[in-house]
Amino acid sequence: MVTAFRPFSNGCDIPYKLQRTLLAPASHWFAKSFTGDMIQEDGKLEIRLHDTSPEAFENFLYRLFCKEVPNPEYEIDLAARQAFAVLLWLFADSHFLASTKNAAIVQLLHTLDTQHSILEIVQKAFECSPPGSPLRRIMLRDVVARL
């Protein structure tokens, strides 16, 4: 059993109890996390996910369990769906989750078919993604299309 902690907006950490057998195959980042300094003296394993938004981590877990990206279409507006897709992509990129990155890009493209990107979301994508990333290219293409 693994306890993954992700920060909550009030500064407290929220624990999630997860199976190693579920996380390890998801990416080599998680598999590598299960060795070395992550294991405590009492044999418990803890992973701290800093710089992870609550929404991105919970949507990653949904994808891990259900094998699909949650479709928040019925719950939130297009701007929120764009933000969701960008945050999920950023989480997947930092944890080497290729299929989750692809699924997040598909969802982002779907929202961009209906509404142009929101400036704050473009800024987040550029601040947090590596140069030349598919996320940056898509966001830039959408901004240029508006001009």
Q: Give the DSSP per-residue string, the chain.
A: -EEEEEE-TTSPEEEEEE-HHHHGGG-HHHHHHTSGGGB-TTS-EEEE-TT--HHHHHHHHHHHHHSS---GGGTS-HHHHHHHHHHHHHHHHHTT-HHHHHHHHHHHHHHHHHSPPPHHHHHHHHHHS-TT-HHHHHHHHHHHHH-
Q: Residue 135: what pLDDT?
A: 93
Q: What proportion of the chain, given as a percentage, has pLDDT over 90? A: 10
| Confidence at 50, pLDDT banded by 50, 70, 90 | low
Q: Domain range holding 80?
A: 72-147
Task: Report whether pLDDT(104) > 80.
Answer: yes
Q: Please indicate, yes or no, whether residues 88 and 132 belong to a single structural domain of this protein.
A: yes
pTM, 2 dp:
0.73
Count the domains in the chain. 2
Task: Report whether pLDDT(70) > 70.
Answer: no
Q: Residue 11: what pLDDT?
A: 62
Task: Report whether pLDDT(40) > 60.
Answer: no
Residue 109 domain-assigned?
Answer: yes
Residue 82 domain-assigned?
Answer: yes
Task: Report whether pLDDT(36) > 70.
Answer: no
Q: Residue 39: what pLDDT?
A: 55
Mean pLDDT, range 109-125, rounded to an integer: 85
Q: Please indicate, yes or no, whether residues 100 and 146 belong to a single structural domain of this protein.
A: yes
Residue 56 domain-assigned?
Answer: no
Cα-trace Rg, the chain: 16
Task: Report whether pLDDT(85) > 80.
Answer: yes
Task: Report whether pLDDT(82) > 80.
Answer: yes
